[in-house]
Amino acid sequence: MNLAHLLARAARVFPERAALAFGEREICSYGELSRRAAVIGGSLRDLVGLRAGDRVALFMANCPQYLELLYAVWHAGLVAVPVNHKLHPREVAFILDDSAASLLFVAGDPGDLAEPARLWAESAPGLRILSVDDPGYRQLLCGEPIAVVPRAPDDLAWLFYTSGTTGQPKGVMLSQRNLLAMTLSYFPDVDQAMASDSILYAAPMSHGAGMYNFAHVLVGARHVVPESGGFDPREIVALSQRFRGVSLFAAPTMVRRLVDHVAEHGADCSGIKTIVYGGGPMYLADIQRALAVLGDRLVQIYGQGESPMTITALSRAHLADRGHARYLERIASVGVAHSVVEVIVADADGQSLPTGATGEVLVRGETVMQGYWRNPEATAATLRDGWLHTGDVGSLDDDGFLTLKDRSRDVIISGGANIYPREVEEILLQHAAVAEVSVVGRPSAEWGEDVVAFVVCRPGVSLASEELDRLCLESIARFKRPKEYFFVAALPKNNYGKVLKTELRRQWKPSGEN
């Protein structure tokens, strides 16, 4: 079993079909893409000297070479280590050292990377660095194609590094089997990808967006890399008009930007087939507005790097079923378990809780990681008795819909009562003047923790704390309302757009405390 067989199969079945576009320009067919991957794979083995199981890191923004490199790595039996291109060079150095990468692909002028390269060379002795914009890259395409190197189902394929919001990132070990199971579940649980479709990479290919390549390779769909290399609502709309049947993965912040653009400019989004959103909380008010502006084009997935893109899914049909008696509760959930996993809500001892009870979300199935790279302690803490302990808190209803409350570490305990920040955030976001909000706990000698809210107002709008207080008192118990509101220009976020609540909490921690 080797993921490279997916591309090789597509090239045999429909070699002339368009495979890759950069902006509106077609780059190559499936036959050519597969040939390039096989040739580069041979060069990685014969010219660079890499052997099966060696790690190859990719540190670059989305670009046409990304897809051929991923498949070249697997073609040669190597392990891909895609790295978020927005990370600081020192963060990249940690990943290169921890993964013991033998080769690093970057993009851009090698001269501009001289300083980071010196840092990386010190962190990972023996590391070779090659830019896809350097003449040396073209030499990789001058050899002969090789056959796909056989790999076992449990052989490592993708080493995914977590965002490290609570410490150093950990390398999630995803096997050939993990990624194939994830791919096959896309069709019954997320969307019916078709040959006439195009997948557009507006989110980093180093993460979930890149993992959705497999399903689209299987059916011979087109892969579109925006010329911007990232997320630009105007560009996305234009490309969807050019190619039609466009699908993309987007974080909730991206969905909000696209909704704002379409609403403000009356943009035609008829070329967009499906927007799969996930990677963070999508609040009820945002979901309702997105559906109103974009129509029934949305699908939600909930996953983690440890079970990539595959814990639960909220289908297009569920989001469109406005006549259902529990419609609002359902669209505020993250849907039902993917077909390849089991999902339960458990107590502190890992015992399954009854319907409606709140506890930690546990997952087991073919997509769950093998463990953390060279980190047996973290592996043992996260994988217990066959279950992945997600660290997320939620509840299941009678129909199997999972509603997330918060991360377990984000739950606020005030006066002995559990308060879930997301519940308070949902209420505050109902105010028309609130653009973003994050609720955290502040140490309190009297109550243990106080609830406080960091609020970002919409441009040109001012807001008084009393208005938000009244809104909370109309909707939730008095003890849940924030004790104080801090109005800020922006919320601290990591490179994936997730709010860093640890940064907000640091305001009240003594110097030197983590």
Average pLDDT over residues 75-87: 94
Average pLDDT over residues 387-391: 95
| Cα torsion 276, 281, 283, 284: sign | positive
Where is pLDDT greater, at 315 or 124?
A: 315
Q: Between the CA of residue 110 and those of 55, 97, 105, 132, what are the distances in Å? A: 21, 21, 11, 10
372: enclosing H helix or E strand: strand 371-372
- Cα–Cα distance measured from residue 185 to residue 211, given in angstroms and rounded to the nearest whole number: 12
Q: Which amino acid is at 349?
A: D
State pLDDT tens for residues 251-292.
888 999 999 999 999 999 999 999 999 987 788 989 999 999
Instruction: Give the angle subtended at the CA of 473 by the CAs of 472 and 475, to the nearest 5°.
Output: 65
Tell whether the model's pLDDT for residue 183 goes beyond 90: yes
pLDDT given for residue 88 in this prediction: 83
| Cα torsion 485, 489, 492, 495: sign | positive
- Cα–Cα distance measured from residue 123 to residue 119, given in angstroms and rounded to the nearest whole number: 6
State pLDDT tens for residues 32-52.
999 999 999 999 999 999 999
| H helix intervals, 63-104 | 65-75, 89-99
pLDDT given for residue 164 in this prediction: 55
| Cα 72 to the center of its chain, rounded Å | 23
Confidence of residue 514 (pLDDT cuts 50, 70, 90): very low
| Percent of the residues in the chain that have a pLDDT greater than 90, as a whole number | 75
State pLDDT tens for residues 51-63.
999 999 999 999 9
What does DSSP say about strands 171-175 and 198-200: parallel, antiparallel, or unpaired? unpaired
- Cα–Cα distance measured from residue 312 to residue 336, given in angstroms and rounded to the nearest whole number: 5
Average pLDDT over residues 207-232: 96
pLDDT given for residue 117 in this prediction: 87
Tell whether the model's pLDDT for residue 381 goes beyond 90: yes
Average pLDDT over residues 406-415: 77
pLDDT-wise least confident of 82-86, 211-215, 291-295:
82-86
- Cα–Cα distance measured from residue 225 to residue 272, given in angstroms and rounded to the nearest whole number: 15
Domains identified in the chain and CATH numbers: 4-396 (3.40.50.12780), 411-508 (3.30.300.30)
pLDDT given for residue 118 in this prediction: 87
Average pLDDT, the chain: 92
Q: Check: CB of residue 64 under 8 Å from CB of residue 90.
A: no
Confidence of residue 512 (pLDDT cuts 50, 70, 90): very low
Beta strands (DSSP E) in 85-133 are: 103-106, 128-131
Angle between helices 252-265 and 284-294 (to 10 degrees): 40
Average pLDDT over residues 147-162: 97
Average pLDDT over residues 374-395: 95
Neighbours of 148 (CB within 10 A): 21
- Cα–Cα distance measured from residue 438 to residue 500, given in angstroms and rounded to the nearest whole number: 9
| Cα torsion 7, 12, 13, 14: sign | positive
Helix (H/G/I), strand (E/B), else coil: 445: coil
Q: Which distant-in-sequence residues (6+ apart) come within 8 Å of 99 by Cβ? A: 55, 57, 81, 159, 161, 171, 373
pLDDT-wise least confident of 28-32, 159-163, 231-235, 484-488:
159-163
pLDDT given for residue 47 in this prediction: 92
Q: Which amino acid is at 188?
A: P
Tell whether the model's pLDDT for residue 495 goes beyond 60: yes
Q: Which amino acid is at 82?
A: P
pLDDT given for residue 510 in this prediction: 52
pLDDT given for residue 511 in this prediction: 44
Nearest to 183 by CA among 52, 6, 414: 6
Confidence of residue 440 (pLDDT cuts 50, 70, 90): very high
Q: Encoding tokens for residue 226? A: 């925006």
- Cα–Cα distance measured from residue 202 to residue 234, given in angstroms and rounded to the nearest whole number: 12
Average pLDDT over residues 169-176: 96
